[in-house]
Structure 1
Amino acid sequence: MDKMVMLVGTIGQGVMRSADHGESWQRIGIYQGMHSDAMVRTLAHHPHRPEVVYAGTDKGLYRSDNAGESWEHPDSPLSPYAVWALTIDSQQPENMLAGTGTPNRSTLFQSGDGGQTWEERQAAIADECPNVGIPRVTGIAIDPVDRGHIWMGIEVDGVRHSSDGGQTWETINGAIPNPDVHSVTVAPGPPKTIFVVVNNEVYTSTDDGATWTALRIRETFPWSYPRSIFVPPDQPQTVFLTIGDTTPGRIGTVMRSKDVGKTWESLPLPTPPNSAMWSVHARPDAPDVMLAGSRYGYLYRSDDGGDTWHKLWRELSEINSLLAIPA
């Protein structure tokens, strides 16, 4: 097996890192440049240099240039915020967007120079909302077909859309009635499909958001609490979705569609998860290698694009995000 680094963003244990296919794990902390007991809400890698990794934490944004072995905390406008979501343009990686939220004000920042400088964007996010109090940005997706279009999901304040590369934003009202957004993505297709995941449904659009269709997951999925959606690199019609019975839940699985969301299958996990399935990721240079994690720390790996999985021995604290990158 070639070398691979696994990174797991946890709530209260910082980043957990394995460089030997999960045989051993290191907790990244102050001696590696990250503050102690960090809450890591999101992980993202540079699309052309996957050893460059970013972590959104309760104290802003961290960067690693060596696949998560050590980290630096650049001084930026993000530092006073909890960063919940981060996306990097796969074609123009100097374009980055970061969303913040609970317990700090929810807002959006954008960088045009690879994170050296950041500017706040106005997206009319509520100061408070039901169930969570201060809302948080839970997903940002750049349209891979028309990069001027960007979609943002907010828990619990709905969907925002930009048609000018993130400069200005509009609120999507009505067509998606549930504002409790967990995740967003855009699958190139064909057909190009926008996915918006809320806490009890998945909505899709094939006309740039003019109309939306509910998947009606209560009728077709084994459980009805979807969390995270993911399109693997170089597989434009394949979509993975993590689901569970509730949050944190007692059970869950990973769903897969190979036809941009028209039909779905539940992927077999050898050991039932101990909570809702929360995150899923594919290695950028070898998308058949995948990681999936439950909310309460079970880790699964697939080497065949999700057809089969095995559970890793290490069980962690609450999982928020995963990365599998070449060493």
Structure 2
Amino acid sequence: MSCSPDGGESWNRIRNPIPSECNVRALTVYPNEPHRLIAGTDVGIYRSDDNGATWQDLEAPVGDLQVWSVTVDPEDSNVIFAGTRPDAFRSRDGGKTWDQLALGVTLPCPVGIPRTTNMIVDPRDHRTVWAGIEVDGIYKSLDGGDNWIHLPDLGPDPFHGDIHGMTLRMSREGTSVHATTPFGISTSTDEGESWELHEFPKFHEADMRSYCRGMAIKPDNPQIMFVGNGDSIPGVTGVIQRTTDGGATWQPADLPVEPNSVVYWFGVHPDVQDVVVGASLYGYVYVSEDGGNSWQKLQKEFGEIRSVALTPN
């Protein structure tokens, strides 16, 4: 893992205590503590209290389950959820102790063991927790994670339930749930009971579909959303799809350099509302400082990027 203290001009490699050879698949910033982060890895869960400069091992008993997602309760920052392979863990005391949660995911799935790629604590009611599974659709808990409901399928193909990114969009019109899959972005306006799919254009005539991964909502304007798109996984090209009307229409961002793989993940933060960071799976980092109207590619390139997080200085 690497950290830049100056907007991407220079980078510091984190080597201790996070092993340099492990995969970091999940990063999240505390909702009410903008300089505190959680990292989920193949070997455990780590926390930084200083914008990523130093880290401590929370000693979560995840073993070899791999951490694919992490989130912090916006109402009680002592409550942390970590999505693993399969199911999830929860801490109620800031990471000192952990409970393993049984979501009830289907075993095996088309890719073997399902991965909990997204977990969201609902800001409307923190007892409601959402989980997106790769590959088993979306689950929801109404009691803080003790019990889980498997929501209706997003489509007829098993890979409609191959959940990659997930967000809750709250606007004057109400709340909508969005999930990305290999087919596109699916939207529910009835708390996940039914879904409408939007497919993006294929990159090549021979492509089976237009693959989607991470997504993000501009913190101060829910009409603006971003979806990471590509020809496949990992793919050889990609694009950042952007909507300014809540998902009614989408346009590809004008990037200065064509991505070398699918655009995999995004970072946004309410304290720097116009800054958006997007990353391709194979290491290109793009930054917009005007809410996605224009983009620059950072000079630094990485071998592989699975997650990015943005914090204010």
TM-score normalized by the length of structure 1: 0.87
| Structure 1 pair 79–232 and aligned structure 2 pair: CA distance change class (3 A) | farther
Alignment pair present for 1:300 and 2:286: yes
Match of 2:90 in 1: 110
Instruction: Name which of 187, 205, 210 aligns with 1:224.
Output: 210
What SS class does the counterpart of residue 174 from structure 2 fall into?
A: coil
What SS class does the counterpart of residue 219 from structure 2 fall into?
A: coil
| Structure 1 pair 270–181 and aligned structure 2 pair: CA distance change class (3 A) | same
Instruction: Name which of 190, 195, 201 aligns with 1:207.
Output: 190
Aligned partner of 1:135: which letter? P
What SS class does the counterpart of residue 52 from structure 1 fall into?
A: strand
Aligned partner of 2:244: which letter? K
| Structure 1 pair 128–305 and aligned structure 2 pair: CA distance change class (3 A) | same
Match of 2:179 in 1: 196
Aligned partner of 2:265: which letter? S
Aligned partner of 1:99: which letter? G
Match of 1:260 in 2: 246
- What does the per-residue CA deviation read over 1:236-258, in whole Å, with 9 as the maximum and x for residues that have no partner? 33221111111111111111223
Stretch of structure 1 that moved more, 73-82 or 206-215: 73-82
List 4+ stretches of structure 1 deviating above 4 A.
Answer: none
Stretch of structure 1 that moved more, 39-48 or 195-204: 195-204
- Greater relative CO (CA pairs within 8 A, separation 6+): 1
- How far apart are the structure 1 equivalents of 2:40 and 2:202? 35
Alignment pair present for 1:172 and 2:151: yes
Match of 2:123 in 1: 144
Question: What's the Cα RMSD here?
Answer: 2.0
- How far apart are the structure 2 equivalents of 1:276 and 1:268? 15
- How far apart are the structure 2 equivalents of 1:174 and 1:275? 28
Instruction: Name which of 208, 232, 235 aligns with 1:249.
Output: 235
Structure 1: stretches of 5+ with no match in the other structure: 1-14
Instruction: Name which of 90, 93, 99 aligns with 2:77.
Output: 93
Match of 2:299 in 1: 313
Alignment pair present for 1:323 and 2:309: yes
| Structure 1 pair 150–308 and aligned structure 2 pair: CA distance change class (3 A) | same
| Structure 1 pair 117–258 and aligned structure 2 pair: CA distance change class (3 A) | farther
Q: Is the 8 A contact 1:217 1:224 kept in 2?
A: yes
Match of 2:109 in 1: 129
Q: Is the 8 A contact 2:44 2:59 kept in 1?
A: no
Count of residues in correspondence between the two structures? 305
What SS class does the counterpart of residue 187 from structure 2 fall into?
A: strand
Match of 1:290 in 2: 276
Q: Is the 8 A contact 2:154 2:195 kept in 1?
A: yes
1:80 CA drift (Å): 4.5
Alignment pair present for 1:67 and 2:51: yes
- How far apart are the structure 2 equivalents of 1:75 and 1:152? 23
- How far apart are the structure 1 equivalents of 2:135 and 2:210? 18
- How far apart are the structure 2 equivalents of 1:302 and 1:36? 28
Match of 1:5 in 2: none
Stretch of structure 1 that moved more, 108-117 or 224-233: 108-117
What SS class does the counterpart of residue 196 from structure 1 fall into?
A: strand
Q: Is the 8 A contact 2:152 2:192 kept in 1?
A: no
| Structure 1 pair 232–142 and aligned structure 2 pair: CA distance change class (3 A) | farther
- How far apart are the structure 2 equivalents of 1:238 and 1:16? 28
| Structure 1 pair 200–312 and aligned structure 2 pair: CA distance change class (3 A) | same
Alignment pair present for 1:181 and 2:135: no
Q: Is the 8 A contact 2:135 2:161 kept in 1?
A: yes
Q: Is the 8 A contact 1:61 1:79 kept in 2?
A: no
1:58 CA drift (Å): 0.4
Q: Is the 8 A contact 2:202 2:231 kept in 1?
A: no
| Structure 1 pair 96–290 and aligned structure 2 pair: CA distance change class (3 A) | same
- What does the per-residue CA deviation read over 1:180-236, in whole Å, with 9 as the maximum and x for residues that have no partner? 11121111123310012111122111111222211233489x971110111232323
Sequence identity (%): 38
- How far apart are the structure 2 equivalents of 1:150 and 1:74? 22
Q: Is the 8 A contact 2:185 2:212 kept in 1?
A: yes
| Structure 1 pair 267–19 and aligned structure 2 pair: CA distance change class (3 A) | same
TM-score normalized by the length of structure 2: 0.91
- How far apart are the structure 2 equivalents of 1:281 and 1:159? 22
Stretch of structure 1 that moved more, 73-82 or 306-315: 73-82
1:167 CA drift (Å): 1.9
1:159 CA drift (Å): 1.5
